[in-house]
Amino acid sequence: SANLMSLGGLSIAIGMLVDAAVVVVENIVSHLADTKQADKLPRMHIIYRAVREVSVPVTAGVLIIITVFLPLLTLQGLEGKLFTPVALTIMFALAGSLVLSLTVIPVLASFLLKKVSHEEPYLVRKALAVYEPVLTWSLAHAKLIVIAALILLAATGVIYTQLGKTFMPVMDEGDIIIGVEKLPSINLQQSILTDLNVQRALLKQVPEVKGVYSRVGSDELGLDPMGLNQTDNFLLLKPKDEWRMQTKEALIEELRKVMAEIPGLEYSFTQPIDMRVNEMILGVRGDLAIKLFGPDLATLNRTAQQIVQVLESINGSQDVYTPQNSGVQYLQIKIDRLAAGRLGLSISNIETILRAQLEGKSLGIVQEAQKRTPVLIRGSESLRVSPSDFGNLMLTLPNGTNVPLSAVARIERAEGPVKIDRERGAR
């Protein structure tokens, strides 16, 4: 979470928090050890002069470090969510340490530094014996030192361009998730059958896979909403010493070959924690997502396919796909208001009857000891699979007689989207 990242930033800044205080205390000790000042000036005045002498350099040093972290505040998406708390924590911690080093530290020094004898430790004396001649020579040959530094900087730049790099390394979580998206018009039985075929193919052709279990659609609580055409296949892997290949990337390439043999599927590879983090922070499962907004769904779908073709042509891109959001068959019920009114039915009456037949109506709960069983009544299964049976659905009139739904409504097939996502009030 962001709190954990903030604590991580604080742990990074611990070493830098004491830098300003160390410089201030060191200068105070140096001034108090100067017998010429100590004999002529009051103790508090000596401490004040020592702090004033280093206040500008200390402030400049801390501000330079804070400036280094400012670019992290411009990061967006997952990177911004992770690193912005770190940068803010370090910046505020350094600012607080600067204030304390110029206010509280001098006061504490006036009480705690009673007798001061300034003598360099043994290691410092030995280091100075080497450092001072080198520094003297470097200052005497300043041009040569600057030229050598520029050559090293240029060489470093050349070497840096040859190094492989990534912004956020991928953590190996052990297991693999293959997200599969099928045709939007698929029903639950066909979706389950396709998932079984995927499982059999993976277990048969990739011996490194110990087991596969799949989750299709949404749960009853709606905590992880997915369509019937969407499946998460969780792969349990054998120990690495039983693998034919050396790396997980090679294993994923083997799995990708198996998935490519199954037609009609869009698929992507991820890991459990990585998938959850991307979903919670970015709202998508991929490492990179392009979101399109607009009022016309057909234009959005067409533009999305064009973007997919462009992304697939870029070196390094893998598993590029856009959710299939069209091609679902719907039944549109267009009610004849005049016919319904003549029979004494209102739009709300018809809607209530249809909702009860399709979704069901709760009649109560049966209590058996500690077990509670909800009772739901709804129409037969044929209503949800046969448009003709749906048109023959009987409606009860206020006088007790029945008429078919087709007497007051026209039922038509229409093609529409799987779902309409909205973000910040826009499609």
CATH number at 338 reads 3.30.2090.10
pLDDT in tens, 212-223: 888 887 766 556
Torsional sign, CA 249, 255, 256, 257: positive
pTM score, whole prediction: 0.52
**Residue 18 and residue 94 in one domain:** yes
| Residue pointed to by tokens 């014996």 | 129
**Residue 280 and residue 347 in one domain:** no
Does residue 252 lie in a domain region?
yes
Both tokens assigned to 306 = 């064009």
Count: domains in the chain:
3
What is the pLDDT averaged over residues 324-348?
81
3-state secondary structure of 365: strand
Number of Cβ within 10 Å of residue 379's Cβ equals 17
Give the per-residue pLDDT at 37. 62
The size of the chain, in residues, is: 427
Contact status, residue 361 vs residue 377, Cβ threshold 8 Å: yes
**Residue 90 and residue 180 in one domain:** no
Give the per-residue pLDDT at 402. 85
Does residue 379 lie in a domain region?
yes
3-state secondary structure of 367: strand
pLDDT in tens, 121-176: 788 888 989 999 999 999 999 999 999 999 999 999 999 888 876 666 667 777 88
Q: In angstroms, rounded to a whole number, what is the distance separating the alpha carbons of residues 30 and 48?
A: 13
Does residue 22 lie in a domain region?
yes
Does residue 16 lie in a domain region?
yes
Give the per-residue pLDDT at 344. 86
**Residue 109 and residue 182 in one domain:** no
Q: In angstroms, rounded to a whole number, what is the distance separating the alpha carbons of residues 308 and 300?
A: 12
Alpha helices (H) along 206-296: 248-260, 272-281
Give the per-residue pLDDT at 239. 87
Give the residue from 107, 108, 103 showing the smallest Cα distance to 20. Answer: 103
Residue 115 pLDDT exceeds 60: yes
Contact status, residue 423 vs residue 283, Cβ threshold 8 Å: yes
Residue 334 pLDDT exceeds 60: yes
DSSP letter string, 346-375: -HHHHHHHHHHHHT-EEEEEEEETTEEEEE
**Residue 198 and residue 276 in one domain:** yes
Q: Which residues pair with 404 in a beta bridge?
A: 394
Spatial CB neighbours of 139, under 8 Å, sequence gap ≥ 6: none
CATH number at 103 reads 1.20.1640.10
**Residue 36 and residue 97 in one domain:** yes
Q: Which residues pair with 395 in a beta bridge?
A: 403
pLDDT in tens, 29-41: 888 877 666 567 7
Does residue 230 lie in a domain region?
yes
Q: What single letter denotes the amino acid at residue 66?
A: I
pLDDT in tens, 58-69: 999 999 989 988
Domain that holds residue 367: 328-416
